[in-house]
Amino acid sequence: MKRTTAVFFSLTVLTALTKPVTAADAQHGETLAKRWCASCHVVAPDQQRGSTAAPSFSEVANRPGLDAARIALFLLSPHPRMPDMNLTRTEAGDLAAYIESQKK
């Protein structure tokens, strides 16, 4: 009986750990960027201008050693030069995926 319970428990844990992770949605990230970020950052190639103090998303995406995970973490961490947009983890992931899509 104990062995059956242990096997069942192990299979349950394994199943939970192998469920597919929802991929970030760069298209949703683009929508967020155009709504929340475009007043300061150039968020798309067709955007005419942003603030001169804020880097374009393309510049951010092409910084060495910066990937979507690090961008998302940055977006979730408070930092003084940007307003706190209270992004959810999903929104930060989507926005990071969109920024990463700007890589050249």
Domains of the chain, with CATH numbers?
23-100 (1.10.760.10)
* Stated length of the chain: 104
**Mean pLDDT score of the chain, rounded to an integer?**
82
Whether residue 83 has pLDDT greater than 70: yes
Burial of 93 (0-12, 13-18, 19+ CB in 10 A): buried
pLDDT (average), residues 1-24: 52
The residue that leads in pLDDT, 22 or 96, is 96
Q: What Rg value do the Cα atoms of the chain yield, rounded?
A: 19
Q: Using CA of residue 19, residue 99, residue 71, residue 74, what is the dihedral sign?
A: negative
Q: What is the pTM of this model?
A: 0.75
Band of residue 1 on the pLDDT scale cut at 50, 70, 90: low
